[in-house]
Each structure stands twice: as C-alpha cells, then as structure tokens.
Amino acid sequence: MTPLPLRAAWVAARMAGTLAVGEGSTEFGDVSIDTRTLKPGDLFIAIRGERFDGSEFAGNAIDAGAAGVVVPRGWSQGAGRTRAARAAVIEVDDTTSALQQFAQAIRRESGTKVVAITGSAGKTTTKEVTSEFLGLRHRVVRNRGNFNNHIGLPLSLVELRQRPEIAVVELGMNHAGEISTLVRIAEPEVRVWTNVGEAHVGFFASVDAIADAKAEILEGADAATVLVANADDARIILRTTSFRGRTVTFGVERDADVRATDIEDRGIEGTSARVTTPRGEVGISTPLVGRANLANILAATAVALEFDVPLADIAAKAGELRPASHRGEVVRLASGVTVIDDSYNANPTATRRALDVLAGARATRRIAVVGEMLELGDHAIGLHEGVGRAAAQAGVDTLIVVGGPAASALAQAAVAAGMPAAKVRYFATSDEAADFVVTLVQAGDVLLVKGSRGVKTDRVVERLKAERG
C-alpha cells in the first residue's frame, strides 16, 4: 500500500499551524525531534522540554538538510530569519500539541487498527507478545522501546503513514490525566488493561488513585470498542462495569474468557498451561518465566483472537517467544552461573513476582540483587520492607540490596523476617554491588537482578557478563 505523503500544506493544516515560509507542495521524508538523528529531507519538530527548547536547534536542523521545521509562531521573523528561506517553516502555537494533532491525523488517515496497552507492570512485554501473535496473520507495527508518553506515542503513530493493518502501542503515565491524553490521540479500537500495582505511587495518594488514573483508558469508547481486562485484578473489574464497549477478560485465579489452568511453573525454563478460550482449548508452553508473563500471554492471546489469529498458531508462537533485553531475560554464563536479568525497571509487585520465579529455580544457591524501587514517595519505606519480607519467605540464600534509605529498610526487614544477617548485604551503588557479586557467584548459582532504572542494576549484569561470562 502506498505510504501517506507528508506535504507541507497538509501537515500545517493538521497541526492548526501556518505555513509561514515555503511551498505547500514540499514533501517530507521522516519526522524527527532530534537533530542528532535527523536525515536530509526530514521534518524537524522543535519540541520544548523541561531542560531544552527545540526551537534553539531548528536552524541547525535546516543546516543539516531538514526539508521543513515546525516552530513557535514568529520564529521565521526572529531567531530563524537568516535560515528560514531554505526550508518550509510551519509555525504553531505549541509544538508538542502540534505533534499530537499531527499524529492523530495520520492515525485517522492511515486506516490502521490500534491496540493500546496500559498497566502498572508488563506493558512492554504484553505489547511485544501481542505484536508477535498478530504478526502471524497481519502487517503490524509497534511503538519502539517504551515510546509511551505524550511525545513518544505521537512519534510512534507517525509511523502509521506506512499504513500497516494493526499498530500495537503502550500507554504510560506518572500522573492523572496522562492516559486520557494518550487515548484521545491514539483512539484505539482495542484497549488492554494488564494490572494495577504500586508503580509511581509516590505521585498518587493510594493504589486506588493509580487505578482511577489507569481507568482513563476506558474513555472515548463506543459500542464497537473492545476492552481486554485482567479478571484477577479486582480494582480493574470494579472500574470496567460501566465500559461502553465489549469486555473480554483474561486470568488465572478467576473465571475468564481466556483462562489458564493446569499451570506448571518450570522455574527459569518457563511455564506451561492449558488455555481455554471462546475459540477452543490449547496447551501452551513458553520459555518466558513466571506467572506474570503467563498473564501477559493470556492478554495477548485475547487480542489476537479478536483479529482472527488461529489459536493453534498462537500456541506455536508462544513456544518461540523470547523476553526483551533486561526484562526477565535468562542469561547462562560460561562460568555456570545463570542470571535472571530483570534489571530494566522495578516496582514492589513486579519484584515480589520475580522473587517467586527465583524461588522456583533449581540452583545450588539462589541469590537476589534488588535495587531500590523509585517513585514510591511516602510509601517507599513500607513497600520496601514488604519486599524484604518476601525475599526471606522466598528462601533466598543471599540478598544484595542497592540504593538509599528505602533499600536499607528492605535489607533490615529481610533480616527481621528470618534471613541470617551475614547473608544480607547492602551497597549504596550498583557498581559497589557488582564488585561484590562477581567474587561471590559460582557454578550452579541462579542470580536475580532487579531494580529501578535510576539505580542502574543492569551494571551488575554487564559486569558478570564481562568477568564471568
């Protein structure tokens, strides 16, 4: 199918902007907000962030060959006067809003069906698995990495100018109102709500307040809209009773449209289950570890069935899935040490689930490196203490904790819950923890590494790969 052309006049109109300089017939290649990756012929959108103002780089973008720039009103007569004549200049009231309106216009013109995923944990994995399943029968695009905010999502939707059949995107948030904005831009035909947890609870009064913010994914639906919802999460089910569209549930513990039974946890080897759906039953065996990932697969299965992907094909693909980098990735080192690399990010719910996976692993010793979980606000100490107790209950042989006062509280709680003090170590930084871990591990050990990105527990994994791999 022919890609949707991006001509200056059309772009300006969709942004509610003015073509201040240049010809309306000027056609743009790609769209960029970063002069470091911009290519000749691209359209540069001068986003203003907390620490930078893209309009200061618009001239550099023209020098680098941009065919057009989107800038604040007055730029071509002010800061950009000497360069404006060399490119199409679209002036707008607000460049971020312009990007969002532009992306929404492409989304509508493309004819693509959009699947949007939100939740406190598992969004990216669910997005990736859903894309893999849908890709068995359809042309699919997904948003890159975690391009899931008010800037990243629109940039992902711009790619719909290639007119894929389906786009799978994730919607992230730190504050109330953010999901509402993203849903308005993406206008998804299918919405997926994976779970509600303590992630970002530092920005909210409670977990219920997080659930209320996540419930914004229900907004703007009509009778044809489909919601794929976690039947095991009471907060989700409570908030979906008034959904205007059709709800399809998935789960393990409660009755659901797509449900897993006869579950066999195989530790770091993965999970097997019998999956019952409106299209029949099938056995699924996946190398993705833990019940959290099984729930992600069930959600993806529910979406794929909505798009008529055969259940047998879904089951076969489930056996080929591999985790994204640092998201439950099982790394077997040459030294005989096995690492469960879940270092991409962390919250209390996800960390407890990761500890359950470690507990089920066959190992000489089970070692956990747990980094501080950020953005928990006034709840941080109590939530970290809960994870410390969970580590003790999981039978962890050695616990290494990294971070600030909340991490220290986690370590102390583990000892109070019964772990020998000599088996619990605390370090302020991941580099210090890595120094200790590379001398500690030996053949037969299974090591879990998990923490918030800001704590950089991935450095522990990289050191192990470099020195024990």
Question: Range with the lowest mean pLDDT among 29-38, 136-145, 438-447?
Answer: 136-145
- State the CB neighbour count (10 A cutoff) for residue 433: 28
Is 70 exceeded by the pLDDT of residue 326?
Answer: yes
Q: Which pLDDT belongs to residue 286?
A: 97
**Spatial distance between the Cα atoms of 399 and 414, rounded to a whole number of angstroms:** 8
Q: Which pLDDT belongs to residue 82?
A: 80
Q: Give the pTM.
A: 0.91
**Spatial distance between the Cα atoms of 420 and 396, rounded to a whole number of angstroms:** 11
Q: What would the two tokens of residue 183 be?
A: 């849903």
For 292, phi then psi, to 5°, come to -60, -40
- pLDDT tens for residues 339-392? 999 999 899 988 999 999 999 999 999 999 999 999 899 999 999 999 999 999
Do residues 181 and 99 lie in contact, with contact meaning Cβ atoms separated by under 8 Å?
A: no
- pLDDT tens for residues 263-307? 998 889 999 999 999 999 999 999 999 999 999 999 999 999 999
Q: Burial code of 299-312, b = ≥16 C-beta within 10 A, e = fewer?
A: bbbbbbbbbebebe
Would you place residue 27 in the very low, low, confident or very high pLDDT band (cuts 50, 70, 90)? very high
Q: Which pLDDT belongs to residue 151?
A: 93
Average pLDDT, whole number, for the chain? 95
Is 90 exceeded by the pLDDT of residue 83?
Answer: no
- Nearest residue to 389 (alpha-carbon basis) of 368, 374, 410: 410
Do residues 460 and 282 lie in contact, with contact meaning Cβ atoms separated by under 8 Å?
A: no
Average pLDDT of span 242-254? 96
- State the CB neighbour count (10 A cutoff) for residue 276: 17
Q: Pick 55 or 79 by higher pLDDT.
A: 55
Q: Which pLDDT belongs to residue 121?
A: 86
Q: Which pLDDT belongs to residue 227?
A: 98
> DSSP assignment of 166-185, as one string?
EEEEE---SSTTHHHHHHHH
Is 70 exceeded by the pLDDT of residue 21?
Answer: yes
- The answer for 19, left when phi > 0, alpha when psi is -120 to 50, beta otherwise, is beta
Q: Which pLDDT belongs to residue 122?
A: 87
Is 90 exceeded by the pLDDT of residue 455?
Answer: yes
Average pLDDT of span 37-46? 97
Is 90 exceeded by the pLDDT of residue 440?
Answer: yes
Q: What would the two tokens of residue 437 be?
A: 């871990």
Average pLDDT of span 15-44? 96
For 251, phi then psi, to 5°, come to 170, 180
Is 90 exceeded by the pLDDT of residue 146?
Answer: no
Q: Which pLDDT belongs to residue 145?
A: 66
Q: Which pLDDT belongs to residue 49?
A: 84
The structural domains of the chain, ordered by start, are 6-93 (3.40.1390.10), 111-318 (3.40.1190.10), 329-468 (3.90.190.20)
Do residues 152 and 101 lie in contact, with contact meaning Cβ atoms separated by under 8 Å?
A: no
